[in-house]
């Protein structure tokens, strides 16, 4: 396991041998599953005779190997830790192997494993090699025929990709089902499920009139939690037909809920596997945010059927080809079926916090990386979310119609193939006639471009001069950066009229979308016929994934917050205004000076509360202060305590001054309608719960009483969770302790609710939070082997409880390192994700840097998995 070697993108070679068809037979057994594989193979015409055949294979016990029915002699092949080589195979042949594997020992949750007594698989990215010997790379695409043999009592349900073609009884209480998948696919899309599952069934008629059976398979007790996922699936299927002209291609589409799962969900052909948390919902157990997350993930996995499965990736460096595009597709879907403005605000708020932090840290990498040690470390915010922002820029550059022509071209030209990001961008360039050469830098250059903007109004000539200067900071391996092509959507808002002034760039109209293209390191744009002094509204809708600075005064920002025609930039103006005030307060805290609230922020919030007319969902976002994580991202050096103190001060000041407005807002948005995850209801609840958050910030009797009543009313999980969170995070332990106790008892049987119970407690700002984490790790509902539990308890603490994780005594860091060391053995994928906050040590003060580095060193001294090794080496480089 020591010093694993990187894989380089430029070393790509096409496979020497192809697989036309695979026949698999599984004889399931917890400790000794037998897997027989029969591969129809063919040497590539351009490949020389006698070229050895290389197959991947890990943790397999080989029982038998034969070519065309002839068992191989021991000198005809060699076995090593990560595969098998056959010395001189013929040009066309059938390779038969039989291996033994142990699903019950598989805690990494890659390959075939057991979850709550059910067999299931996770093959992306390189898990299939833990099931059988195979050329486990996405550019080898084959049709599959899979026979699953199981115990009738233990595994009454036997599933795999495609259509069931045969089933029957076997001796000793066993049975089998054979599945056929007619669409050639890479091995990472293979799936198998076997267990005691129940299904909910529905139907969908495709645009060409074909009938598709839809099934969601769950444990019996979860049968009441599938409605929303099923409704979301049907909406997504319809949307993809209407928006992309893409129809589903098999007669059967299945979703299975799995309790132990490393990620959100997986798009296996015809058999999507979902983390239970990403598919199960009920008004009593899931919050509005969870309902929306489920809808987005169901759509995301479904959309992969075209963007990923029918057209797949040539190699894993092209991962964003499927992930960036599919995230863009699911974001657009969610925007269309919910509040589009709120969806964009939420996505950008998250992006600017988490992806910017990734770009600024030691694991920064381009949307298409050049090398990796462990590919599962690259399922990142950069590949997914920044990749989606890049596709969004293409969409906006081309316009809806040309983008659709480009995507049609892409799906038609490359159907059934494994392709590259160039193939995708070429289709877009051809469909739009645009030169995307410079644009390709978005795929190769890591780091967040920073734009410094400066503007001047020339009264005499009625001109506005806008100068933009771009610079991308150095990232690991990339000291020098070239200028990016940055589309900046903008408007000039007249200070007298409060309206958008027409945009003419040196006499030529910019059109209605108002996009200027920054391509040089520095460019000045001269707007003519500007009748009054404007305030520029820049980067509307977050038109490019960049950090843009402009020397706005607080008056400018209050003006934009009140007048900007772009809803996103109104929200952003509010965030910028709050940030200016927060910066002052952070400085005051550091200097030990008394904190004074900026009255302009109070006034801006007051007018938001008084003016009405805003979309409730957007208003809730506007009333939400930047998170501590976002504030930290904006500081040169992170002062955790000052940030926490400043933000708390702003919240309490607003709450104290505007108490009656918040109370009114709370009352106006109360409702006892039966719960529905509908946009209008969600908007009211979020507004009401934001108001309650302010009322509880000062903990006056009335606020506390409202929270207590909201908890007791037990109307739906969104309201209950917010009330319980506010009580738990307040000083009122007399109320919080019994509420937590009754909640914990009531939901002890529901693992997904217990995850929330963990998360609520470990985000407490009180100094006992860390002790609670250690204490809760011994709770019977907690298990280090279950990724959801690890994320809920440890992940939430280290990522969302910043003052306690960054305790000056280093106990937070020690706790994280302890957990990472244990998880490195159990589940390397989860371990290397969890360690992320420690890798950001350079952002903190000297003593904390020392403490964090010491914990990284302590981890480094262990015998590490390639996953954790790669991250730790980068962090300490």
Q: Which residues are at the interface with ligand TRP (CB under 6 A)?
A: 122, 124-125, 262-263, 265-267, 300-301, 323, 376, 379
297 or 558: CB nearest Zn ion: 297
CB contact at 8 A, 53 and 85:
yes
Distance CA 593, CA 586 (A): 10
Beta strands in 102-210 (DSSP E): 111-115, 118-122, 142-151, 157-160, 163-170, 174-185, 192-195, 198-205
Q: How far is the CB of 312 from ligand TRP (least distance, A)?
A: 11
217 or 384: CB nearest Zn ion: 384
Q: How far is the CB of 624 from ligand TRP (least distance, A)?
A: 28
Pairing verdict, β 157-160 and 522-528: unpaired
387 or 567: CB nearest Zn ion: 387
- Pick what 500 binds: ligand TRP, Zn ion, none; C-beta below 5 to 8 Å, kind-dependent: none
How many Cβ atoms are within 10 Å of 210's Cβ, its own excluded? 13
- Pick what 736 binds: Zn ion, ligand TRP, none; C-beta below 5 to 8 Å, kind-dependent: none
CB contact at 8 A, 54 and 100:
no
SS3 state of residue 713: helix
Q: How far is the CB of 299 from ligand TRP (least distance, A)?
A: 11
Distance CA 144, CA 22 (A): 5
- Pick what 379 binds: ligand TRP, Zn ion, none; C-beta below 5 to 8 Å, kind-dependent: ligand TRP
Distance CA 255, CA 273 (A): 6
Residue with tokens 């197959």: 55
Q: How far is the CB of 125 from ligand TRP (least distance, A)?
A: 5
How many Cβ atoms are within 10 Å of 835's Cβ, its own excluded? 25
User: What six digits make up the tokens of 1?
Assistant: 């396991």
Q: Indicate the Cα dihedral angle 707, 712, 715, 718, nearest 10°.
A: 40
Q: How far is the CB of 267 from ligand TRP (least distance, A)?
A: 5
Using CB under 5 A as the criterion, what x/- string covers residues 421-450 for binding Zn ion?
------------------------------
- Pick what 263 binds: Zn ion, ligand TRP, none; C-beta below 5 to 8 Å, kind-dependent: ligand TRP
CB contact at 8 A, 301 and 232:
no
Q: How far is the CB of 829 from ligand TRP (least distance, A)?
A: 6
378 or 442: CB nearest ligand TRP: 378
Q: Name the nearest CA neighbour of 237 among 321, 299, 307.
A: 299
Residue with tokens 């771009």: 470
Question: SS3 letters for 576-609?
Answer: HHHHHHHHHHHHHHHHCCCCCCCHHHHHHHHHHH
Secondary structure percentages of the chain, helix, strand, coil, to 5: 45, 20, 35
326 or 331: CB nearest Zn ion: 326
263 or 546: CB nearest ligand TRP: 263
Catalytic residue among 98, 124, 126, 301: 301
| Paired residues of 115 in beta bridges | 118
424 or 662: CB nearest ligand TRP: 424
Residue 34: φ, ψ to 5°: -100, 130
Q: How far is the CB of 213 from Zn ion (least distance, A)?
A: 24
- Pick what 122 binds: ligand TRP, Zn ion, none; C-beta below 5 to 8 Å, kind-dependent: ligand TRP
Q: How far is the CB of 300 from ligand TRP (least distance, A)?
A: 6
Residue 697: φ, ψ to 5°: -65, -30
Site for Zn ion in 311-330 (CB under 5 A): 323, 326
- Pick what 614 binds: Zn ion, ligand TRP, none; C-beta below 5 to 8 Å, kind-dependent: none
Q: Measuring CA to CA, how many Å separate 184 from each of 19, 91, 140, 211?
A: 10, 21, 9, 22
Beta strands in 152-301 (DSSP E): 157-160, 163-170, 174-185, 192-195, 198-205, 211-218, 252-258, 265-266, 271-275
SS3 state of residue 449: coil
- Pick what 558 binds: ligand TRP, Zn ion, none; C-beta below 5 to 8 Å, kind-dependent: none
- Pick what 492 binds: ligand TRP, Zn ion, none; C-beta below 5 to 8 Å, kind-dependent: none
What residue number has its CB nearest to ligand TRP? 263
Pairing verdict, β 142-151 and 174-185: antiparallel
Exposed, middle or buried: residue 211 (CB in 10 Å: 0-12, 13-18, 19+)? exposed
181 or 323: CB nearest ligand TRP: 323
# residues near Zn ion by CB under 5 A: 2
219 or 323: CB nearest Zn ion: 323
Sign of the CA dihedral with 219 first, then 749, 295, and 630 last: negative
**Residue length of the chain:** 877
What spatial distance separates the first Cα and last Cα of the chain, rounded to whole Å?
Answer: 19
- Pick what 575 binds: ligand TRP, Zn ion, none; C-beta below 5 to 8 Å, kind-dependent: none
CB contact at 8 A, 176 and 168:
yes
Q: How far is the CB of 705 from ligand TRP (least distance, A)?
A: 44
DSSP state of 625: P
122 or 445: CB nearest ligand TRP: 122
Distance CA 77, CA 858 (A): 41
300 or 616: CB nearest ligand TRP: 300
- Pick what 124 binds: Zn ion, ligand TRP, none; C-beta below 5 to 8 Å, kind-dependent: ligand TRP
SS3 state of residue 450: strand
- Pick what 690 binds: ligand TRP, Zn ion, none; C-beta below 5 to 8 Å, kind-dependent: none
- Pick what 683 binds: Zn ion, ligand TRP, none; C-beta below 5 to 8 Å, kind-dependent: none
Q: How far is the CB of 304 from Zn ion (least distance, A)?
A: 6
- Pick what 265 binds: Zn ion, ligand TRP, none; C-beta below 5 to 8 Å, kind-dependent: ligand TRP
263 or 560: CB nearest Zn ion: 263
265 or 815: CB nearest ligand TRP: 265
How many Cβ atoms are within 10 Å of 172's Cβ, its own excluded? 6
301 as an active site residue: the answer is yes
Beta strands in 711-831 (DSSP E): none
Q: How many CA atoms lie within 13 A of 28 on its CB side?
A: 32
Angle in degrees, 0-180, between the axes of helices 733-746 and 717-728, rounded to the nearest 10: 140
Distance CA 119, CA 98 (A): 19
Q: How far is the CB of 124 from ligand TRP (least distance, A)?
A: 5
Q: How far is the CB of 539 from ligand TRP (least distance, A)?
A: 28
Q: How far is the CB of 120 from Zn ion (least distance, A)?
A: 18
Site residues, Zn ion (CB under 5 A): 323, 326
- Active site residues per annotation: 301
């Amino acid at each position: 396991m020591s010093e694993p070697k990187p894989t380089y993108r430029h070393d790509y070679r096409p496979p020497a041998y192809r697989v036309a068809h695979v026949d698999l037979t599984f004889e399931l057994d917890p400790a000794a599953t037998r897997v027989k594989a029969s591969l129809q193979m063919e040497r590539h015409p351009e490949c020389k005779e006698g070229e050895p055949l290389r197959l991947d294979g890990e943790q397999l016990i080989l029982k038998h190997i034969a070519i065309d029915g002839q068992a191989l002699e021991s000198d005809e092949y060699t076995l090593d830790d990560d595969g098998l080589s056959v010395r001189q195979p013929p040009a066309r042949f059938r390779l038969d192997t039989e291996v033994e594997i142990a699903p019950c020992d598989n805690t990494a949750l890659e390959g075939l494993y057991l979850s709550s007594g059910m067999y299931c698989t996770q093959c992306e990215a390189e898990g299939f090699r833990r099931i059988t010997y195979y050329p486990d790379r996405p550019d080898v695409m084959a049709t599959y025929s899979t026979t699953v043999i199981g115990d009738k009592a233990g595994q009454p349900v036997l599933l795999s990709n495609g259509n069931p073609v045969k089933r029957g009884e076997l001796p000793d209480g066993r049975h089998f089902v054979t599945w056929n998948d007619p669409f050639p696919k890479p091995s990472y899309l293979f799936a198998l499920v076997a267990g005691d599952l129940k299904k909910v069934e529905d139907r969908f008629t495709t645009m060409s009139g074909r009938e598709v059976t839809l099934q969601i398979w769950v444990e019996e007790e979860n049968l009441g939690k599938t409605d929303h996922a099923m409704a979301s699936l049907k909406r997504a299927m319809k949307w993809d037909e209407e928006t992309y002209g893409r129809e589903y291609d098999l007669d059967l589409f299945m979703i299975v809920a799995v309790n132990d799962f490393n990620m959100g969900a997986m798009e296996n052909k015809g058999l999507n596997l979902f983390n239970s948390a990403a598919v199960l919902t009920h008004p009593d157990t899931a919050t509005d945010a969870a309902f929306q997350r489920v809808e987005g993930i169901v759509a995301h996995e479904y959309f992969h059927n075209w963007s990923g499965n029918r057209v797949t990736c040539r190699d894993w460096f092209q991962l964003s080809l499927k992930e960036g595009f599919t995230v863009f597709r699911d974001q657009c879907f969610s925007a269309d079926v919910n509040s589009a403005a709120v969806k964009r605000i939420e996505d950008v708020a998250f992006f600017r916090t988490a992806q910017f932090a990734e770009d600024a840290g030691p694991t920064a990498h381009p949307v298409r990386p050049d090398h990796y040690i462990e590919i599962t470390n690259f399922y990142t915010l950069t590949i997914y979310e920044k990749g989606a922002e890049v596709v969004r820029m293409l969409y906006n550059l081309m316009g809806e119609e040309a983008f659709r022509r480009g995507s049609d071209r892409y799906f038609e030209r490359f159907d059934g193939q494994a392709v590259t990001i160039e193939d995708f961008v070429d289709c877009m360039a051809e469909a739009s006639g645009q030169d995307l050469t410079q644009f390709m830098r978005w795929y190769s250059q890591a780091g967040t471009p920073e734009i410094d903007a400066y503007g001047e109004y020339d009264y005499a000539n009625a001109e506005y001069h806008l100068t933009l200067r771009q610079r991308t900071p150095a990232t690991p391996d990339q000291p020098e950066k070239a200028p990016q092509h940055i589309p900046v959507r903008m408007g000039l808002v007249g200070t007298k009229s409060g309206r958008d002034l027409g945009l003419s760039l040196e006499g030529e109209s910019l059109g209605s979308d108002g996009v200027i293209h920054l391509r040089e390191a520095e460019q000045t744009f001269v707007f003519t016929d500007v009748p009054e002094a404007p305030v520029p509204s820049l980067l509307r809708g977050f038109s490019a994934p960049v950090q843009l600075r402009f020397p706005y005064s607080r008056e400018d920002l209050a003006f934009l917050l009140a007048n900007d025609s772009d809803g996103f930039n109104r929200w952003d103006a509010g965030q910028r205004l709050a940030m200016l005030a927060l910066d002052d307060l952070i400085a005051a805290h550091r200097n030990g000076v008394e904190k004074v609230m900026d009255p302009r922020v109070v006034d801006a919030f007051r007018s938001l509360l008084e003016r009405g007319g805003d979309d409730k969902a957007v208003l809730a976002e506007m009333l939400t202060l930047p998170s501590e994580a976002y504030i930290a991202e904006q500081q040169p050096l992170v002062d955790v305590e000052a940030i926490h103190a400043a933000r708390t001060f702003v919240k309490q000041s607003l709450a104290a001054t505007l108490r009656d407005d918040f109370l009114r807002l709370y009352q106006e948005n109360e409702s006892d309608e039966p719960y529905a995850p509908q946009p209008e209801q969600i908007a009211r609840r979020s507004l009401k719960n934001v108001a309650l958050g302010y009322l509880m910030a000062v903990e006056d009797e009335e606020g506390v009483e409202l929270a207590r009543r909201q908890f007791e009313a037990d109307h739906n999980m969104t309201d209950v969770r917010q009330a319980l969170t506010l009580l738990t995070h307040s000083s009122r332990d007399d109320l919080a302790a019994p509420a937590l106790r009754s909640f914990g008892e009531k939901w002890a049987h529901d693992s997904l609710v217990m995850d929330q119970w963990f998360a609520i407690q470990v985000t407490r700002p009180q100094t006992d939070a860390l002790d609670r984490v250690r204490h809760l790790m011994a709770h019977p509902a907690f298990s280090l082997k279950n990724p959801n539990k690890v994320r809920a308890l440890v992940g939430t603490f280290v990522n969302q409880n910043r003052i306690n994780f960054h305790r000056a005594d280093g106990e937070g860091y020690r706790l994280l390192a302890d957990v990472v060391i244990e998880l490195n053995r159990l589940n390397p994928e989860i371990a290397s994700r969890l360690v992320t906050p420690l890798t950001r040590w350079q952002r903190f003060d000297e003593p904390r840097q020392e403490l964090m580095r010491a914990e990284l060193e302590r981890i480094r001294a262990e015998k590490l998995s390639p996953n954790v090794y790669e991250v730790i080496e980068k962090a300490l480089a």
